[in-house]
Amino acid sequence: MTPSKSQHRTARRRRIRSKVQGTAARPRLSVYRSLKAMTAQLIDDAEGKTLVYATTLELKAGLTKEGAKKLGEAVAKKAQEKKISSVVFDRGGYKYHGRVKELADAARAGGLQF
């Protein structure tokens, strides 16, 4: 039986997570896309805590590139408030394309370095 699209994504996600770790000084910017919303969070893996969280639902943004751009700006703004300037990007097994790329570019424009 051939693996499904979600199984391929899960395998990619595991490979990425084996190499990418977030710390208090440089948390992990994790991206998740669902059919209803897109979320981004900054995670300190050493403590196992989420430092910053944002979703397109709370921003009243759609599931478009514009919505992803708003989400990236919101995450960068919340991170700046918590004095976080450097992060490690975790694309969650998704291609670095479309909404994921827009989110990353907007976060960079908002002042995050990765």
* Cα(84)–Cα(23) distance, integer angstroms: 11
Range of the domain at 97: 5-109
Report if residue 58 sits inside a domain: yes
- The total number of structural domains in the chain stands at 1
Which pLDDT score is estimated for 104?
97
Question: Mind listing the pLDDT tens digit of every residue in the chain (114 residues)?
Answer: 888 999 999 999 999 989 888 888 899 999 999 999 999 999 999 999 999 999 999 999 989 999 999 999 999 999 999 999 999 999 999 999 999 999 999 999 999 998
Which pLDDT score is estimated for 22?
87
CATH at 61: 3.30.420.100
Report if residue 114 sits inside a domain: no
Which pLDDT score is estimated for 55?
96
Cβ atoms of 80 and 114 closer than 8 Å: no
Which pLDDT score is estimated for 23?
86
φ and ψ at residue 25, rounded to 5 degrees: -75, -35
Report if residue 77 sits inside a domain: yes
Report if residue 40 sits inside a domain: yes
